[in-house]
A and B are shown apart, each in its own frame.
Chain A
Amino acid sequence: MAKYKTKGLDCWNRAKELRAKYYKDYKEAHDRGALRWEGGAWSFDAIPQALEGEVHGLTEEPYGASIGANPELQVRYQEAAEGKWGCARDLCAYLRNYWGSIVLNEFAYGGEWPKADFIFQNHICCSHAKWLQVAAEIEGGNIPFFCFDVGAGAYDKIGERQINYVVEQLYDGIDFLEKVTKRKIDDEKLIQNVKNTYDSACYWAKACELNQAIPAPLDEKTMFSLYVLGTLEKSHKDIAHFYKDELYPEVKDRVANKIAAVADEQCRVLGDSQPPWGFLRIFRYLEKYGIVSIASLYTFSLIGWWTIDKAGKLVPYPTLEEQGITIKDRDHALRLLAEGELKGKLMWVPFYGAKYKNDIITKIAKQWKCDASIIHLNRGCEGTAQHQMEMKIAVQNLGLPVMTFEGNMADEREFDEGRTTRFIDLFVTETLGLKKVAD
C-alpha cells in the first residue's frame, strides 16, 4: 500500500508542446520571414524578442542538454567538435554538443543547422564568454555578435551602480540589434516581455517553494522538464502563462490534496548541478528506495528568482504586481529587467564564492526539510561544479549524510551508470539505512 496518492501533472503535455513549438519555430523562422538569433538561457531574451516583427531565438544550453539526453547523438556531435574542430574534451559538454551540431551542419530537431541572423549573448562563466563567438566562426564568421557582461556582483551587492553597469550595456545591445536587423525595438513589446519575464521567474520560484510540503508535489526529474521552458524564452507570453496560470495553480492543488511526486516518499534529497541527462533513470532508481530529489540551487534558480526575507528565509522574488510596479517606459523596463536578474538569480552565487553558495544551500536544506544530499560532481560544467565539495561539508555540518558521484551532464563517456548505482546502493542501504519500498 503506497504511503501517498500520486498522479502525473495535468500540464505535462502542455510543457512538451511549448518546447516542441519553440524548436519548430526557430527551425522554420526564415520560411516565414522571421529573424533568428542565438543566445544563452540567461541572455535577457526580453530584449531581442522585442524587435519589430516575428523573432525566434535558440538558447545554447538547453539545446546542448537535449543532445545530451540522446547518447547516440551526443557522442557523434562531440566527436565532431573534438575531431573535426579540435575542441578540447574538458570544455563545457553543452558547448561541445552545440559546436558539433554546427560542424556536422545538422539540427538535432531535423534538417540542416539553422544559421542565425545575429547573436545576443552575455558573459557569465568562462565558456559562455566565448561559446557563441566561436560558434559564429564555425558557422562562417559573418554572424553579427553582441555580448554583455553581467558579472556585477552577488545579489547582496547589487545597487544603482551595478544596475547602471548592466543597463548601459543593454542600451548598447539595443543599438546593435537595431543596426544589424534594420528593425526597431518595440517598447510596448519590451515592456510586455519584461512583465512576462518576471512572471516566469517568480512563478517558477513559487512552484518550487511549494515543494517544502510533505509529501513533495514535484520531483526533480519532472522539474527538469518544467524549468526548461524558462531557459528557452521566459519573456514569451505563453511560457509566462504556463508558469503563472497552469503549473503554479496545479502544484498548489497537489499540495492541498497531498498528491505526491513519489508515492512512497521516505527520504527527501537535496541535489546539485545539472544531472547526467542521458541517465535520468537514476532518479527512478532512487525512487525504489522511496527517495525523492526535491530541491537544488540549480533547479530552483536557473530561471527562478529568489530573495532573502527579513527573517533570513529564502522566498520567491516578488512579482511586479506584488511590488505594485507598472512599467513606464524603455528605461524603466531595462532597469527592472537588470535588477531582477542581478538580485534574483541566485544560480549566479557560486561565481562569487563558496560562502554565498553554502548560505543558500543551507537555507534550502532546512526550509525544504531535506534528509540527505546527493551531489553530481559534474565534469561537464565548470560553472555549476564550483564549490561542490565545500557544499558537501556545509550540508554535512547540518547533520545530513551526503553522497557524491562523478559524471557529466552531457557526455555519456564520462558517466558510469553501473558504478553510480553501486554508490547509491551503498549510500542508501548503509549510510541512510533505508530498504527498498518498491520494485
Chain B
Amino acid sequence: MIFAGIDVGGKNVHIVITKDGTILAKVEGPTGINKAEAAEKLYEEALKKAGLKRGDISRVVATGSSGSRVAFADGVIPDAAADARGVIKLIPSARTIIDVGAEEGRAIKIGPEGRVLDFAINERCAAGTGTFVDTMSRALEVSVEEMAKLSLQSTRSIPMNAQCAVFGESEVVSLIHQKTPKHDIARAVHDAIAGRVSSVARIVGLEKDVVMIGGVAKNTGFTESLKRDIGMDVNVPDDPEFVSALGAATAAATGVLEEKVEAKVVEKEMIEEGKS
C-alpha cells in the first residue's frame, strides 16, 4: 500500500510518499503565507515525481505546526510523535531526538517502540532555532552552508549570548568590529545555539543514542558544537529534514483517523475567535 506524510513547518513543507516502507518520492518547498495552498501544490509535485495519482494513495497523514491546515489529509499527528516514528524507523537504537527546525527546537525522549516518554520545546524564543542561524549568517554576510564550513575551521571558543536573537546579532556585529576571524564567529554562533538546544535536551535527559533531525541537522558546524556541548555522539540520518514527514507517512500506514476530527474542531474554534 502507498502512504503519504506531509510536514507543514514554519518555513518549509516536506512531503514523503512511501510504498511498503520504502520511499518513492520526497519533495520540499517553502511554506509561505498560504500554508494549505503550499501543501496542495507540493503534494501534486510529489505525486508527479512518484508517477502516481491521488487515488493511488491509501492514506495521507499531516504533521508540523500547521499540519491541521492540510485539508486533504486523512489524519493529523503531533510533530513530536511524527519525529519519534520517523527516527525509530531509521535508527531503532535512538532514545533521544533533537529536532531543530526554523521556528522550534525540541527534544524528545522515546522508548524502544518509539513511544514519546517526555518532550521539551523552546516555546517562545528564536534562540535555539534555525531562524537564529539564518539571522546570524546574514549578520556575517555568508550563506548558512558557508557558515557551517567556516565554523569547522575554528579552534577557538568565544562565549556569546544566545538568549536572544537580537542581542546575539549585536554580539556578532561587535565581534566583526573587533576583527575577529569569521570562522571563530561562526563557531561562537553555533556553540551558543548548541548551548541553548542542549539545555532543552537536558530537561528530558540525554540518553544514547542521540539523533538529530530537522533542517539545522544538515549544518555540520552546529552538530559539531552540539557534540562538544553534550559530550556525546550525535547521529544524523540522511535527509534529516524529511524525517518528520517520513514519520507521518509511517503513522498513515498504521492509521490515525480519529485525531483528524479533533484537530479540525480546534482550528475551527480558533478561526471563529479570530485566533488562527
- Please count how many residues in chain B sit with their CB below 8 Å of the partner chain's CB atoms: 27
Whether a CB of chain B sits under 8 angstroms from the CB of A426 is: yes
Specify which of A414, A426, A436 is in contact with B262 (CB 8 Å cutoff). A436
In the bound assembly, the distance between CA atoms of A127 and B81 in angstroms comes to 40
Judged by DSSP, the binding face of A is helix
- On whether the beta carbons of A430 and B261 are closer than 8 Å, the reply is no
Kindly supply a per-residue 1/0 record for chain A positions 109-126, scoring 1 wherever the CB is within 8 Å of any chain B CB and 0 otherwise. Answer: 000000000000000000
Confirm or deny: A439 has a beta carbon within 8 angstroms of a beta carbon on chain B.
yes
A390 shortest CB reach to chain B, Å? 12
In the bound complex, CA of A239 to CA of B120 (Å): 42
Name the residue on A nearest B121 (C-beta).
A423
Task: Give the CA-CA distance A435 to B261 in the complex, in Å.
Answer: 13
Given known contacts A419-B123, A426-B78, A431 and B117 CB-to-CB distance under 8 angstroms: yes
Cβ contacts under 8 Å, B118 to chain A: 396, 401-402, 431
Q: Which of A285, A402, A422, A429 has the most CB of B within 10 A?
A: A422
Decide: B78 and A429 in contact? CB cutoff 8 A: yes
CA distance A369 to B259 in the complex (A): 28
CB distance from B199 to the nearest CB of A (A): 11
| Pick from B65, B119, B124, B270: contact of A426, CB under 8 Å | B119
> Is there a chain B Cβ closer than 8 Å to A418's Cβ?
yes
Q: Which of chain A's residues have a CB closer than 8 A to the CB of B116?
A: 426-427, 430-431
What is the bound-complex CA distance between A436 and B259, given in angstroms?
A: 9
Q: A389 — which chain B residues lie within 8 A by C-beta?
A: 203
- Asked if B4 is at the interface (CB within 8 A of a chain A CB), the reply is no
Complex contacts, B262 vs chain A, CB 8 Å: 288, 425, 436
Contact string, B255-276, partner A, CB cutoff 8 A, digits 1/0? Answer: 0001101110111001000010
Most A CB within 10 A of own CB, among B78, B81, B265: B78
Q: Does A404 contact B (CB under 8 A)?
A: yes
Q: Does B41 contact A (CB under 8 A)?
A: no
Compute how far the CA of A431 lies from the CA of B110 in the bound complex, rounded to whole angstroms: 9
Question: Size band of the A side of the interface?
Answer: 20 to 34
Which B residue's beta carbon lies closest to that of A279? B275
Bound state CA distance, A418 and B124, in angstroms?
13
Contact A425-B270, Cβ < 8 Å, known A389-B203, A436-B262: no
Other-chain contact of B270, A405, A418, A429 (Cβ < 8 Å): A418
Specify which chain B residues have a CB less than 8 angstroms from the CB of A285 in the assembled complex.
266
Q: Which residue of A lies closest to B84 (CB)?
A: A430
Whether A425 and B124, one on each chain, are in contact in the complex, defined by CB atoms closer than 8 angstroms, is: no
User: Are B258's CB and A436's CB within 8 A?
Assistant: yes
Assess whether A331 is interfacial by the CB under 8 Å rule. no
Q: Chain A contacts of B266 at CB under 8 A? A: 285, 418, 421
Residues on A with beta carbons closer than 8 Å to the beta carbon of B124? 406, 414, 416
Contact status A430-B270, CB under 8 Å = no
In the complex, A417→B274 CA distance in Å?
12
B→A interface (CB under 8 Å): 65, 77-81, 84, 115-121, 123-124, 203, 258-259, 261-263, 265-267, 270, 275
Assuming A426-B78, A433-B115, what are 11 further A-B pairs, CB within 8 angstroms?
A396-B118, A418-B266, A421-B266, A422-B65, A423-B78, A426-B81, A426-B119, A430-B78, A430-B80, A430-B81, A435-B258
29 CB < 8 A contacts A-B: A285-B266, A389-B203, A392-B203, A396-B118, A401-B117, A403-B119, A406-B124, A416-B124, A418-B266, A418-B267, A419-B65, A421-B266, A422-B65, A422-B79, A423-B78, A425-B259, A425-B262, A425-B263, A426-B78, A426-B81, A426-B119, A429-B78, A430-B78, A430-B81, A430-B115, A430-B116, A431-B117, A433-B115, A436-B262
Q: Which residues of A contact B (CB under 8 A)?
A: 285, 288, 389, 392, 396, 401-406, 414, 416-419, 421-423, 425-427, 429-431, 433, 435-436, 439
